[in-house]
A and B are shown apart, each in its own frame.
Chain A
Amino acid sequence: MDSIPKFPLGDIIEKFIDFTTEHFSVFTRAISDITETALEHLIDGMLFFHPLVFIAIVGMVLFKFSGRKIAIGSVAGLLFILNLGLWDATISTLALVLSATLVSVSMGVPLGIMAALYKPFNRVLMPLLDFMQTMPAFVYLIPAIPFFGLGPVSAIFTTVIFAMPPSIRLTCLGISQVPSELIEAADAFGSTKKQKLFKLQLPLAMPTIMAGVNQTIMLALSMVVIAAMIGAGGLGGEVWRAIQRLWMGRGFEAGIAVVIIAMILDRVTQKTASKKK
């Protein structure tokens, strides 16, 4: 057995990452700085309002777009979080999750479209997605740090990798599910590819795409504690600190705040998904 040496997979990956950090880290660090500043501004912006004003605004917007039930539930949930004294942590988590979602969706949807329209691309992408989703999320933390440094940007990077696959998959699915008869009809009237995409495929795929966005948000939220390990802060940070010091009560309070945020985001996106139909 000794005659067969261990395959140096770890060494190879390490060398690869060393090499890329050495040559590209100037670049990635710059991105990191910009993103971090932007994120700070976003958080500052959201904290600029008094929490009660913020909650009132959220309540009104949701009342208009998502209905009375969701609006009342959300306001109650947010008030409870405020009462627990987790407002700042919640806002920073919200900013992180929403930024990661924004990045995931704005990359995932185009990738999903391409996968649906170009079969060879699909064949390459799908195994990659399987890989991304089954690899334990912790592992992504390791390369994130040399590239982006400790802090929220590494957290966003890791979250994006982990949370993007459903956006890609469900966009691809939604577009592939458009009945071929309709595509044929669009062709028969002389539509261009672009016209087919924007006038037919995307509108019809919208409910499925929204389901993908919903899943992406949920996955992003599920990453908050892991992200806290590399300094993302927020509610995840609260939980992480509570774990380390065995503050059971505090840990649960922060956990419940995460659940409340998850429920609000879930209901809101589901509602938009079904309304589009």
Chain B
Amino acid sequence: MCKIEVENLYKLFGEHASHAINDMKKGMGKEEIMKKHGVAVGLDNVSFSVKEGEILVVMGLSGSGKSTLIRCLNRLIEPTEGSVLVDGQDITKFNKDQLRELRSKKFGMVFQRFALFPHKSVIENAAYGLEVQNVPKDERLKKAADALELVGLKGWEEYYPENLSGGMQQRVGLARALAVEPDILLMDEAFSALDPLIKREMQDELLALQARVNKTIVFITHDLDEALKLGDRIVLMKDGRVVQIGEPEEILTNPANMYVEKFVENVDLSKVLTVSSVMMKPFAVTYPKDGPKSALLKMKEAGISSVMVVNRERQFIGIVHVRDVRKAAELNHKTLEEVLDRDVVTVLPDENISSLFTEEKFPIAVVDEKGVLKGAVVRGSLLSALSSEGGIGNG
């Protein structure tokens, strides 16, 4: 289900917006509009949707309209034209009171430079959203304390923001947004001001947190690595327009145009490609009941020297190698039990392939959470995937 739907959204900054918008619709670009009308283009016909429970990352260079876009979602910036549907309601038609209700109940916002209130303690900051909803003091402090615990700030309640490090301040920012128990989190470059180590830590924690609270998150960044790490889907923006929308791998392996290519060319692919993109279909599988003879036959047909073994539920059990199977056949064993190698590395399909390079033993079995065999990674496919994907950037 779609939590937010943005349709044909325009935002122009300046006095003669109405003239300019017609030219924009005819396809005039940002610079031309500026020259002709003296109007700054924030958003140019932006449409996309955010699904319930996903992390949607909006990515683009500085000035591409990301902040404008996220602020149009709760109308901190008034869109010039177009509609924004939240839970099916067009919020561009909301009056003041409806808008305040929407902002205070549905959205929680986290800002790039934290925007904490310096005269309020950590817990008072976290409780702010509830305070303006006139939630009784005891209740709001309790909820704020819960939110602070959630972001790992238990024990810091009575401190003031100025006494906290950047990372901790942003945790307060996150707690302030979470305390109102919003459906949607809006995060505008929330981690961009943090130094790299802290940033990575916060990203991991956001993902862990998301697994628990399962919000709909719109996350803004100019950092592709961050986008790929956090995003279920990514919206790529340039000059106020949407250039591509897709899952991280789609954007990497299938960039919509030169602009996206340029963006992705510097990405370390091994960091972002997942196992499922380099794995092969498991060639031949044999049930433990299958005897050595039939296993040999299948290996011969497929032209491989080892084969994965699964049970009736297709759960991975181990591997057998052709040499051992032949011996077992000569010894007239009825099953593969004796020659089964259970000491095989397994990975999940959405794991990062960078962890595989250090493995000595191939093939590696790819299994899902239930242990069901999904594929196999051999050394060759790993390397070839890398070299062919690596070619994207050179185009």
Instruction: Tell whether A195 pairs with B115 under 8 Å between CB atoms, given A188-B109, A190-B103.
Output: no
- The 3 A-B pairs with the shortest beta carbon distances in the complex, nearest first, are A190-B104, A190-B103, A185-B115
Distance from A85 Cβ to chain B, minimum over Cβ atoms (Å): 46
| Residue B155 at the chain A interface, CB threshold 8 Å | no
Which residues of chain B are near A187, meaning CB under 8 Å? 76, 103
Instruction: Tell whether A192 pairs with B100 under 8 Å between CB atoms, given A181-B113, A182-B117, A184-B76.
Output: yes
Q: What 0/1 pattern do residues 94 to 113 of B give for CB contact below 8 A with A?
A: 00000111111101010101
Q: What 0/1 pattern do residues 12 to 49 of B give for CB contact below 8 A with A?
A: 00000000000000000000000000000000000000
Instruction: Tell whether A199 pairs with B131 under 8 Å between CB atoms, given A182-B117, A185-B111, A204-B118.
Output: yes
Q: Which of B105, B109, B115, B118 is packed against the most chain A CB atoms within 10 Å?
A: B115
Which residues of chain B are near A195, meaning CB under 8 Å? 132
A204 touches B119 (CB 8 A): yes
Give Cα A200 to B115, complex, Å: 12
Which residues of chain B are near A188, meaning CB under 8 Å? 74, 76, 103, 107, 109, 186
Distance from B123 Cβ to chain A, minimum over Cβ atoms (Å): 15
Which of B100, B119, B176, B186 interacts with A190 by CB under 8 Å?
B100
Which A145-184 residues have C-beta < 8 A from chain B? Answer: 179, 181-182, 184
B118 touches A189 (CB 8 A): no
Give Cα A189 to B128, complex, Å: 8
Q: What 0/1 pattern do residues 26 to 44 of A give for CB contact below 8 A with B?
A: 0000000000000000000
Give Cα A189 to B132, complex, Å: 8
Interface residues, chain B, with chain A CB atoms under 8 Å away: 74, 76, 99-105, 107, 109, 111, 113, 115-119, 128-129, 131-133, 176, 180, 186
Which residues of chain A are near B102, meaning CB under 8 Å? 190
Which residues of chain B are near A199, meaning CB under 8 Å? 128, 131-132
Distance from B96 Cβ to chain A, minimum over Cβ atoms (Å): 9
Please, which residue of chain A has its CB at the minimum distance from the CB of B104?
A190
Which A250-267 residues have C-beta < 8 A from chain B? Answer: none
Q: Which of A181, A185, A191, A204 is packed against the most chain B CB atoms within 10 Å?
A: A185
Q: What 0/1 pattern do residues 193 to 229 of A give for CB contact below 8 A with B?
A: 0010001100110000000000000000000000000
Please, which residue of chain A has its CB at the minimum distance from the CB of B119?
A203
Distance from B174 Cβ to chain A, minimum over Cβ atoms (Å): 13
With A190-B102, A200-B117 given, can you name 17 additional A-B contacts, CB distance below 8 Å?
A181-B115, A182-B115, A184-B111, A185-B116, A186-B128, A188-B107, A189-B103, A189-B104, A189-B128, A190-B100, A190-B104, A190-B105, A190-B129, A190-B133, A191-B100, A195-B132, A199-B131
A190 touches B132 (CB 8 A): yes
Please, which residue of chain B has its CB at the minimum distance from the CB of A190?
B104
Please, which residue of chain B has its CB at the minimum distance from the CB of A206?
B119
Give Cα A189 to B126, complex, Å: 11
Give Cα A48 to B132, complex, Å: 47
Contacts A/B (CB < 8 Å), 23 sampled: A182-B115, A182-B117, A184-B76, A185-B109, A185-B111, A185-B115, A185-B116, A187-B76, A187-B103, A189-B103, A189-B132, A189-B176, A190-B99, A190-B101, A190-B104, A190-B105, A190-B132, A191-B100, A191-B132, A195-B132, A199-B128, A199-B131, A199-B132
Give Cα A184 to B103, complex, Å: 12
Which residues of chain B are near A186, meaning CB under 8 Å? 128, 132
Which residues of chain B are near A179, meaning CB under 8 Å? 115
Give Cα A204 to B161, complex, Å: 14
Give Cα A25 to B38, complex, Å: 57
Give Cα A194 to B386, complex, Å: 59
B101 touches A181 (CB 8 A): no
Give Cα A179 to B128, complex, Å: 17
Which residues of chain A are near B103, meaning CB under 8 Å? 187-190
B119 touches A189 (CB 8 A): no
Give Cα A191 to B104, complex, Å: 8
Distance from B316 Cβ to chain A, minimum over Cβ atoms (Å): 49
Which residues of chain B are near A203, meaning CB under 8 Å? 119
A181 touches B132 (CB 8 A): no
A189 touches B76 (CB 8 A): no
B117 touches A189 (CB 8 A): no
Give Cα A181 to B128, complex, Å: 15
Give Cα A181 to B116, complex, Å: 9
Distance from B324 Cβ to chain A, minimum over Cβ atoms (Å): 65
Which residues of chain B are near A204, meaning CB under 8 Å? 118-119
Which residues of chain B are near A192, meaning CB under 8 Å? 100, 132
Which residues of chain B are near A184, meaning CB under 8 Å? 76, 111, 115
Which residues of chain A are near B104, meaning CB under 8 Å? 189-190
Give Cα A49 to B105, complex, Å: 57
Distance from A272 Cβ to chain B, minimum over Cβ atoms (Å): 15
Distance from B272 Cβ to chain A, minimum over Cβ atoms (Å): 32
Distance from B210 Cβ to chain A, minimum over Cβ atoms (Å): 20
Which residues of chain A are near B116, meaning CB under 8 Å? 185
Give Cα A182 to B74, complex, Å: 16
Which of A181, A182, A189, A191 interacts with B180 by CB under 8 Å?
A189
Distance from B99 Cβ to chain A, minimum over Cβ atoms (Å): 8
Give Cα A218 to B186, complex, Å: 49
Distance from B67 Cβ to chain A, minimum over Cβ atoms (Å): 10
